[in-house]
Structure 1
Amino acid sequence: MRFRLSSLAKNLLAGLRLALFLPVRASDYRVSGLDFVLLALSGFVAWVAVGAVLAGFEGELNPLAIPMYLASISLVLGTALLVALAYGAQEKLLSLAVALSASQPWFELVVPAASGLGEVVLWILVGWTLIASVRAVAVVMGARRPQLYQGTLAVGAMIAIAFFVFPETDVWLPSAAQDEEAGAGLADERAFHLQGQLIERALAGLRRGRPGVPELYFVGFAPDGSQDVFLREMRYVKRLFDERFGTAGRSITLASSRDALEEFPIGS
């Protein structure tokens, strides 16, 4: 047991050096199936710990976060397999999976704490994660071309899926979180009474149709207020339709986000 903990410590140290762009070699990692499992567990523990600190220790573990984390582990293994195939070095699959996972606990300490600091910080974290992951590929698999470019595409896709495709899930729910979520859109009484004005204003702002001319309308709907990614996506799609398909003046958007209660009608 002591040996395994020593191997975990060495892997975490190598992962930290990799993430901080300090010198690191492939031989610095300890590679076995159990080492990979321990790294995955340490990443989950770090995620839970940060969530508990941010939400309050009186909360509880969100059971929906467990399958999401298992999916992320599968994503890492799948990416390592694709890169190993690109290099023609399938025997290094586990080594790359360990190297990619060794930095993950450190990112789990940073990403949740910085997630509320704005999109600029989010993109900086995405870029940092991408560069560190590409470096893991170069350290373990080598830097020969074009395999490194293929590996970069693979880890880039992995990070894009992890950040922007997987649902944004809170691993630690504050106490009475279910009641708060159910009433999130009604918590502010003034914003609640404003809803009628918002929908009337949106309807009144629609342009009149022209006789004999087919018109394209856009209705944006973001009913899940637990994740701000849906609100961001709806804004992007609305802007895309307005610019590309001429729906400006013929758009209505509904969103159940507490950050937009005074901007959009509730998407109920």
Structure 2
Amino acid sequence: MKDYQNKSLEKALSILECFSRENRELSATEIAKMLGLNLSSIYPLLATLSRFEYITRKENGKYSLGISLVVKGNLVISSLNLIEVARGPLQDLAHEYQGNTHLAILNNYKALIVDRALASDKVFINSIIGYEIPLYCTSLGRALLSQMRDEEIMNYLSNEELRKFTPSTLTDPEKLLQEAKNARLRGYVVLDEEFTPGEVCFAAPVFDSQGKAIASVNLALSKLRKLQEYERYGLRIRQTAMQISSYLGYTGPVTG
């Protein structure tokens, strides 16, 4: 069996583990002593951790935990709260339509699936929790994309490889921008086999108490069901998104 452990990464993570309530600030010498490592091997790791702001070097020459850990920690906390309040509505929707529902957050211009409720026997890879999917060609992603400024959308599209996952995948930047604008006005998106063959998806953004789009939810249904009245499903997913948003303290108008 292959050993996939990365010794340098282990050492870097061990450095972070040295900090605690009792050890809020540590010198390089203290860290090296705690880990039983040579001081010369510690400096490159400290430099890398500092560059990514996982630690900060103080004026006294000592190190403390950095802002990146605060940001990542807050993301985890907010995601857990989001998952908790969204789970019930997602399960209700999945049961109502016998389809799969998902919750995603924006992560480095990808939609990261953080929860799901499955009612269908057919589960696609993009239903896996922890899976990252593109913004431009998925319902969860496009719902998030619709809440960005037009300039940000075009900047994203100009830097993203717009590949076709199916014959129906939309890859024209101008058309994608227009789709985002339409979704913004409508309050939901509809994607018909653009990412997964045989699947039509409806999605809508979720807002926090400040009115910021922090997530998206979707309903994925099989086209074998010969779906009609797409608007009905779109309005229903929008209703679910607004329900979750209200649980998070959103008091703004219903989008669309």
TM-score by length of 2: 0.28
**Greater relative contact order, per chain length (Cα 8 Å cut-off, separation 6+):** 1
TM-score by length of 1: 0.27
